[in-house]
Amino acid sequence: MTGWNPAALPDQSGRVFVVTGGNAGLGYFTVEQLVRAGARVVLAARSEERATRAMESVRRAVPGADLEFVRLDLASLASVREASARLSALDRLDGLVLNAGTTSGSARREVTADGNESTLQVNYLGHFALAAGVLPALLRTPGSRVVGLGSLSTRIVPLDPDDLQSTRRFGFFRAYAFSKHAVHGFVLELDRRLRSAGSPITAVLAHPGFALDGLSSPRPGVIVPEHPLAARALAFGAQGKNRGAAPTVRALLDPRVRGGQFVGPRWSVVGRPVLARPAPSSASESFGRHLWDLSEHWTGTEFAVG
């Protein structure tokens, strides 16, 4: 698909979006781009202090930006339920961006208070429960969309659908890739179930390519760029998170993007947002059904879309 200009987004006045992890990195630039197009955006994040700094930065870049903060700690299903209750009360919800996550962690397996491997819960299971909780607000808004952030790590680490909790073997990057396989499987299965139910909601995947804070447009107190020499060393095969947010924004806003599609950089790691292909293993219907059952069990959440 051609004709999409990330620098000239369609007007989003009157529309409302929730971005998890909107206080930093990809989430921050997703928020900034959405409010620049006229949208109201709710930042769902763990730290109110960091979210406040991010909102102040957005307002410096976009005077009059309509922003709100809702506390969300994806490592706690109790926090997810509290955030879901607040967000599901919104009069409308045009889009939910499942952006937040951790990209670094311990060399040893850790579990949350809910008993789940921490990377899997923060990057995926918390989002599964959140999407289920805010479904009423999405259903009240014709044409609403859920966008989940995938990762190229799914091309590097093969999926083991029977060890998503990394109980047999743990390595952080392996656990991270499994969490992203799970995001892929969930979003694609969600879209299949929505279509089967005749729902007006769609679900779409996006990935940022190789996006780094150090190559991003600076935002004092929020995004700190690399030293110029370090930035030049990183620049080959990478892009800033301001550009890395563009596939998410296109997946959310472009009416030509259909449910179940995947948007990523043109050259896989960098470039304008275009349609991409997810790893076949986590895109399969059998994995989607298997994952859905496990996710309901691990989160204690019934997620019925019909």
Question: How many whole angstroms separate alpha carbon 183 and alpha carbon 128?
Answer: 9
Is residue 176 annotated as part of the catalytic site, yes or no? yes
Sheet bearing 16-20, strands edge to edge: 66-71, 40-45, 16-20, 95-98, 145-149, 202-206, 262-265, 273-276
Q: Which ranges of the chain does DSSP label H, i.e. alpha helix?
A: 25-36, 48-61, 77-88, 118-120, 126-133, 135-139, 153-156, 172-196, 228-234, 241-244, 246-253, 280-283, 285-299
Question: How many whole angstroms separate alpha carbon 67 and alpha carbon 161?
Answer: 39
Question: How many whole angstroms separate alpha carbon 10 and alpha carbon 62?
Answer: 16
| β-bridge partners, 95 | 17, 145
Question: How many whole angstroms separate alpha carbon 153 and alpha carbon 209?
Answer: 10
Show Cβ contacts of residue 206 under 8 Å, excluding neighbours closer than 6 positions: 147, 148, 149, 150, 247, 248, 250, 251, 252, 262, 263, 264, 273
DSSP state for residue 218 in the 8-state scheme = P
Q: Are 133 and 90 in contact (CB under 8 A)?
A: no
| β-bridge partners, 273 | 265
Question: Among residues 172, 176, 287, 298, which one is catalytic?
Answer: 176
Instruction: Kindly list the catalytic residues.
Output: 176
